[in-house]
Structure 1
Amino acid sequence: MKKLWFLGALAVMAAFGSSLQAEEGKKAPEYGWKKQLVGTLNISQTSLDNWVQGGENTFAWQLDVLGHFEEDREVFNWNNTAKLSYGMSKIGEAEPRKSVDEIRFESVYRRKLGWFVDPYAAFRVESQLTKGYTYSDAGKVAVSDFWDPAYLVESAGLGFQPASFVKSRLGIAFKQTMTRNFAPLYADNPATAKIEKVRSEVGVESVSDFNKKLAENMLYTGKLQLFSNLKGIRAVDVRWDNLLTAKVTKIVSVTLDFRLFYDRDVSKKRQIRQALLVGLTYSFL
């Protein structure tokens, strides 16, 4: 099954690459800085009073802040993206629980040589803000926290941009998984007696970014990341983020957020997170 995911992801990338080569005439490039900072607040609430059919009061909120700072010049492109997401939900008298928590920053420098492919260097860091728990009838157990784990990836290789809305790159990558109190869950090597709080891997990384306006008020953004430490198909880490946003009015938007994540060192099964959100959007830049 994991092999099918990997091959399927490569097939999607290949299909995009071949079809986008036929994209019609490109516009003249506009050099300089492009800056964007957008915040979105999503809230849902249900309140029941003397509701004989039964049910629970619910309240949930999620705050997303997305930043994009790109400098494009004739000889280079420097692209920086940042994401901060945090949300909680409460059902009935139960204590509020975290529903989403993510810190992410990525910086990619690409040198333009006028070839089909260009050399690049990239850095990425991912973590979370607050402590995370798993819940059961016996109570809750902490399983993560700020910088616990944190993922750092440094890479260099070749990138190409077959169309204005897709960028792909492939290169050698160095990945560090850093922990503090939850090393056994994320970084420790069970084959050794010592508990390692940092796990370092060297491998190959493929990243494809998509940003396509599907309609006047609808935008699709996606990122497909594949990392292999060259120990076999089972050792391929997969992260596939998909975000479909439709603007209802100038400040009201509907968002479908879907993520597929697989890291055998964390779980032998794939992980999926999906959310359908309606909220207020404000552009700071």
Structure 2
Amino acid sequence: MLFRCLIISIFILLQNPALFAQQTENPSDTTLLKDLRQYPRRNALPVRRPVIFPETVRLPEPEALELSINYWRSWTSFGANINQASFSDNWGSGGVNSLALGGQASYKTDYTKGDKNFVSDFLLQYGKLKNKDQLSRKTADRIFWDNKVALKLSKSWYFFGSLNFESQFDRGFSYAKNAQGNETRTLLSRFMAPGYLTESIGFEYKPVKYFFLRIGTGTARQTFMIDTNLYKTNPKNFGVKPGKGFRNELAFQVVAAIDKDIATNLNLKSRYTMFANYEKLKSIDNRLDVSLTARVNRWINVSLAGIALYDDDTADKVQTSQALSLGLVYKFPR
């Protein structure tokens, strides 16, 4: 019976070959996916690329844009410091009550356009110290104003002309004690006694922004003494003849200055001046100002400043001054 059923099935397949072909010729899923990936064919549709026609656009003249360039740069700073000490009457190590106050203001402006340059540097300093049972003393007293115009000759050389003014605010004294042990003072100087006005022309070497060297081949300095009786207590009278109020000198001058941040929040500023009177070349005036300023934070600075000065019209030996201060400083622009 089973054999008969198998024979019948083979006979039916032989009589219907289409049914067998339909089963065997049906494509597999992989073949179908392959055929589907062939459509659509790449670049089957033509693509028309656009044609670009550049057109020149004319901008308005600079005057029409109302643009302006500021060739001026300015820096301003104000500072104040205070130092106070007090001791009880039975303080075993000894000491004296004291109070010191000081202030400083500076302004600098710079104008540079093409080959032309103008710089103005203005500085005011004043400080006072008072110890118990002693007369008050000055710790700082200076008015300084320096102006320079220059014309660029090459990459680092300029032809310059400068005008410089220097004096002080308050009276200056020397101090001593009399036979009774009381403190006395002798007047040495005051405002515009002396006062200095210096004009100079020459060449300036400025290879970098923070350093310059001026060589003033033609320099004149006027010394003013508005107190014509000062020679009675100060015999040298700052080189001015006794009883006179004016002196003029022709000289060769060298000025070198540096103002540079040598480390993070640490600035070094120094200025050296040499003044050689053509009539007294054996006696040359020299002055060196150096200050080192450390910025503690936005408002507080610590500064160490020193001055070394030799001027035989004031003293026979080198004069020195040193000051260490902690104070508040405000600068703008920040």
Bigger proportion of residues as strand: 1
What SS class does the counterpart of residue 133 from structure 2 fall into? coil
Contact 1:234-1:264 at 8 Å conserved across structures: no
**Deviation string, structure 1 residues 45-81 (Cα, Å, up to 9, x no partner):** 1111242332111111110111111112212110100
Larger RCO of the pair (alpha carbons < 8 Å, separation 6+): 1
The aligned amino acid for 2:86 is S
Counterpart in the other structure of 2:268: 220
- The match for 2:110 among 70, 73, 80 is 70
The aligned amino acid for 2:191 is F
Counterpart in the other structure of 1:176: 222
Contact 1:237-1:264 at 8 Å conserved across structures: yes
What SS class does the counterpart of residue 282 from structure 2 fall into? helix
**Deviation string, structure 1 residues 233-282 (Cα, Å, up to 9, x no partner):** 53211111111100011111110101111111111111111111111111
- The match for 1:195 among 222, 227, 243 is 243
Q: In the aligned structure 2, how far is the partner of 1:44 from the partner of 1:199?
A: 39
Aligned length: 252
Contact 1:176-1:201 at 8 Å conserved across structures: yes
**Deviation string, structure 1 residues 139-164 (Cα, Å, up to 9, x no partner):** 11111111110011000011110222
CA-CA distance at 1:116 after TM superposition: 4.2
Work out the percentage of aligned pairs sharing the same amino acid. Answer: 28
Counterpart in the other structure of 2:170: 130
The aligned amino acid for 2:290 is N
Q: In the aligned structure 1, how far is the partner of 2:100 from the partner of 2:282?
A: 36
Counterpart in the other structure of 1:40: 79
Contact 1:103-1:127 at 8 Å conserved across structures: yes
**Deviation string, structure 1 residues 68-126 (Cα, Å, up to 9, x no partner):** 11112212110100110000111112232211110000001111133542110000010
Counterpart in the other structure of 2:40: none
Counterpart in the other structure of 2:189: 144
Q: In the aligned structure 2, how far is the partner of 1:41 from the partner of 1:216?
A: 23
**Deviation string, structure 1 residues 191-248 (Cα, Å, up to 9, x no partner):** xxx6322111101000111011111200111111001013455321111111110001
TM-score, normalising length: structure 1: 0.84
Moved over 6 A (4+): none
The reply to whether residue 186 of structure 1 matches residue 238 of structure 2 is yes
Q: In the aligned structure 1, how far is the partner of 2:155 from the partner of 2:75?
A: 29
Counterpart in the other structure of 1:3: none
Contact 1:201-1:229 at 8 Å conserved across structures: yes
Once the two structures are superposed, the pairs formed by residues 241-256 of structure 1 within 5 Å of their partners are: 241-256=289-304
Counterpart in the other structure of 1:237: 285
Q: In the aligned structure 2, how far is the partner of 1:214 from the partner of 1:233?
A: 36
The reply to whether residue 54 of structure 1 matches residue 86 of structure 2 is no
Q: In the aligned structure 2, how far is the partner of 1:36 from the partner of 1:58?
A: 34
The reply to whether residue 165 of structure 1 matches residue 210 of structure 2 is yes
Q: In the aligned structure 1, how far is the partner of 2:284 from the partner of 2:97?
A: 42
Q: In the aligned structure 2, how far is the partner of 1:222 from the partner of 1:188?
A: 29
Contact 1:31-1:72 at 8 Å conserved across structures: no
The aligned amino acid for 1:187 is G
The runs of 5 or more residues in structure 1 that have no matched partner are: 1-29
TM-score, normalising length: structure 2: 0.72
Pair member with larger Rg: 2
Counterpart in the other structure of 2:324: 276
The runs of 5 or more residues in structure 2 that have no matched partner are: 1-68, 179-183
What SS class does the counterpart of residue 94 from structure 2 fall into? coil
- The match for 1:110 among 136, 142, 150 is 150
